[in-house]
Structure 1
Amino acid sequence: MGANQTQNYIPFLKNKNIAVVGNQTSVIFKESGYIHLVDSLLKREIKIKKVFAPEHGFRGKADAGEIVKDGIDQITGLPIVSLYGNHKKPKADDLKEIDVIVFDIQDVGARFYTYISSLHYIMEAAAENDVIVLVLDRPNPNGHYIDGPILEKEYQSFVGMHPVPIVHGLTIGEYAKMINGEKWLKNDIQADLEVIKIKNYNREMNYNLPIKPSPNLPNDQAINLYTSLCFFEGTNVNAGRGTNQQFQIFGSPFLNHNHFDYSYTPVSNPGAKYPKHENEVCYGKDLTQHKNLSQINLEWLIEAYKNTSDQNDFFNDFFNKLAGNKTLQEQIKTGLSAEEVKATWKEGLENYKKMRAQYLLYD
């Protein structure tokens, strides 16, 4: 972890006013376990003035999409400023007297995972207010492949801000370099950016996340399947929210139970207070034992669409934002196979890989 390379950033932070963008994954690993980055910095007498909290909150307990409120961290007494809801970008007052923003969050390498959108707004606000951004890099558990359609500009949203594929194949430090280098910030501004690299890392390494990055990504299987099953968030199919197999199963009351022999019933739980199809029997698939993916699987989405009794309402308004275009929905409705759909991604992916190459920090 970049956070573990304390010798490379602690001297730089001395005698400066610091804000930290972090959550429950922002830790320094030790032989005896780990210590939260904020606790470690405070012990080293680094002057942390505030914490910025992304989606799911500073301690990582909020549901997806749930409003995260400002407050005071009960453990450290530091003020917490939410970067979710209506306040996704720090204001000038939030950065008053701040010299450096330390960004340290575990990402999962998917365009629609909102931590990279928070990174964008942090970098933009920092550039506008002459604040340095220091990214402590972390491995990408889905960094071993690149796949998906390139996001089209008219479908920009907080679940997709940049013209990249769904699985972008970058660490969050590399992604920050790309945001800067491609001048994706407002008015082509660039942040004063420093990245603390991960020691002895390459993207083919199998990285097991010791702390779940958000409430509904509980294990490595969910993180690997997330890039394929998140499409169901834009449909009438439940992707395991309201169970203990989030993003490892999918199902719906509308799916044909003669075709799908697996069933489950979503209920309210700490990671999903109001899950889709709550207390209804859902028919679908159990993917908890599925082999590790090295590409996006579209076959499950297509299979569900073909075997629903509710095709007219299968897709909702969120789907095109997740896909980054309107084309994917149209392709599925017209009956294209997964292979035929993926063939239309090829040129965009080749161009993206050429652009991405200049920002790589690791093999």
Structure 2
Amino acid sequence: MKITILSVLIIVSASWHNYSKPTQALLHNSKPSTFAKSLITGADQTEKYLPYLKGKRIGMVVNPSSRIGDKASVDSLKALGVNIVKIFGPEHGFRGDASNGAHVDDSTDPKTGIQVVSLYGKSGKPAAQDLAAVDLMIYDLQDVGARYYTYLATLHRVMEACAENNKELMILDRPNPNGYMVDGPVLDMKLKSGIGFHPVPIAHGMTVAEYAQMINGQGWMANGIKCKLKIIPLANYKHSMPYTLPVHPSPNLNTQQSILLYPSLCLFEGTIISQGRGTYFPFTVLGNPDLKGQYKFAFTPKSIPGMSETPLFQDMECFGLDLRKYDTKKLIKSKRVNLSWLIEMYKAYPFKDKFFDYKQSKQMGNFDKLAGTTTLKEQIIAGKTEEEIRASWEPGLTQFKKMRQLYLLYP
């Protein structure tokens, strides 16, 4: 008998935090593209994997973006009788109540009573004792298609732990909202970090399941070990398909605009320029107090619990670019990371020696680690044109595109 999830779900509305209600509504109420109406996520195709879960002790790597219909996948599967024994939470935590970069401790989920193991605290990956009581792991996280996003490092570590402990990993695949783009310098592995874990460009154009196949196929895990994967693929999906996320994937990517701008704007986290953390519209604006007089648009970062407690330039007026109404169709048409904003901001900023000083700016990342190369910073300082910069990304970018083809599941 085919199980239809809508017949058993109690439809509820959930958000990451109280602060997110207006922005959550923005995403949830956005009309999906007509191309995306028939798209079905891996998680929503319960008839394809529920029988496989029967009789197994299940561990789940999940956060608030992990949904079946309008309900958290943990809650949904538990209601369907799945024996979930452990939850593993990435950056921001399982229920999404931790700010970017914040230490997250192990806990017990008050709603279900299930133990929650943090993968963004003292431990980077599940320990052997964490997996001892688990027969099968499920990975169900919404990625955004950018190398900086820490969930790629989480995926690698979970796969590695599963391989080391002889556990199978089921991936409930989800669309890449930036799947149309493959662009940027390929990471120099000398700069490997949590915001750049593999030799891929800034935008990789792959879904999580495709990326997992690449990690396996390229032998990127310790000693070249392989993780046994069981993939529940998307139905009716193409990489070029516009996709509006029904739930924002992390606290500071809280609108579709921010998600589409993220591959281009996250580079600024290695500079003295604010991307709007401390506002309710992060990753859609750029500014700095020292740009007063050069730009009319201004915003003032504030402390926002669960989102940005101590943002750059807190309570200081920042002047710069308002990209909230920028036509993202231009990005989609170009299929490129936008470098013009980085070049413009560097030229406009009066104190050039401070622009790339991430220690002074107290932001999330070293610019070189975000860029994946030491040369981009040098090229910006030297006044190189965008085309000159792009030329230096070859042949690495073309070689990656060729290699990527080996692991694609969708057109």
- Give 4+ residue runs of structure 1 displaced > 3 Å after superposition: none
Which of 364, 387, 396 in structure 2 is aligned with 1:348? 396
Distance 1:42 1:210 in 2: 22
Structure 2 matches for 1:1-363, cutoff 5 A? Answer: 1-29=41-69, 34-255=70-291, 257-270=292-305, 271-292=307-328, 293-294=331-332, 295-317=336-358, 318-363=366-411
Question: Partner amino acid for 1:254?
Answer: D
Contact kept, 8 Å, 1:53 with 1:80, in 2: the verdict is: yes
Contact kept, 8 Å, 1:156 with 1:321, in 2: the verdict is: yes
Alpha-carbon offset, residue 347 of structure 1 = 1.7
Q: Deviations over 1:285-304 (max 9, x none)?
A: 00011111232111111111
Contact kept, 8 Å, 1:100 with 1:132, in 2: the verdict is: yes
Tell me the SS of whatever aligns to 1:354: helix
Of stretches 128-137 and 343-352 in structure 1, the one that deviates more from structure 2 is 343-352
Tell me the SS of whatever aligns to 1:216: coil
Tell me the SS of whatever aligns to 1:346: coil
Alpha-carbon offset, residue 310 of structure 1 = 2.2
- Specify which structure has the higher proportion of helix: 2
Q: Deviations over 1:129-148 (max 9, x none)?
A: 00000000000000011111
Contact kept, 8 Å, 1:106 with 1:138, in 2: the verdict is: yes
Alpha-carbon offset, residue 37 of structure 1 = 0.9
> Which residue of the partner structure matches residue 16 of structure 2?
none
Distance 1:148 1:85 in 2: 30
Tell me the SS of whatever aligns to 2:154: helix
Distance 1:125 1:316 in 2: 36
Alpha-carbon offset, residue 200 of structure 1 = 0.8
Q: Deviations over 1:217-242 (max 9, x none)?
A: 01110000011110111111110101
> Which residue of the partner structure matches residue 3 of structure 2?
none
Contact kept, 8 Å, 1:266 with 1:277, in 2: the verdict is: yes
List alignment gaps of at least 5 residues for structure 2.
1-40, 359-365
Alpha-carbon offset, residue 44 of structure 1 = 1.9
Tell me the SS of whatever aligns to 2:407: coil
Question: Partner amino acid for 1:313?
Answer: K
Alpha-carbon offset, residue 254 of structure 1 = 2.3
Distance 1:98 1:64 in 2: 29
Of stretches 182-191 and 286-295 in structure 1, the one that deviates more from structure 2 is 286-295
Tell me the SS of whatever aligns to 2:184: coil
Distance 1:26 1:86 in 2: 23
Distance 1:88 1:309 in 2: 40
Distance 1:300 1:35 in 2: 38
Q: Taking every aligned residue pair, what percent have the same amino acid on both sides? A: 48
Tell me the SS of whatever aligns to 2:234: coil
Q: Deviations over 1:68-96 (max 9, x none)?
A: 11101111111100001331111111111
Of stretches 289-298 and 188-197 in structure 1, the one that deviates more from structure 2 is 289-298
Question: Partner amino acid for 1:298?
Answer: L
Contact kept, 8 Å, 1:61 with 1:214, in 2: the verdict is: no
Alpha-carbon offset, residue 250 of structure 1 = 0.6
Q: Structure 1 length as normaliser, TM-score? A: 0.97
Q: Deviations over 1:26-77 (max 9, x none)?
A: 1111xxxx12111121122211111000001111121110111110111111
Distance 1:329 1:224 in 2: 23
Question: Partner amino acid for 2:96?
Answer: G
Question: Partner amino acid for 2:54?
Answer: K
Question: Partner amino acid for 1:227?
Answer: P
Q: Cα RMSD (Å) of the superposition?
A: 1.0
List alignment gaps of at least 5 residues for structure 1.
none
Alpha-carbon offset, residue 332 of structure 1 = 0.7
Alpha-carbon offset, residue 214 of structure 1 = 0.4
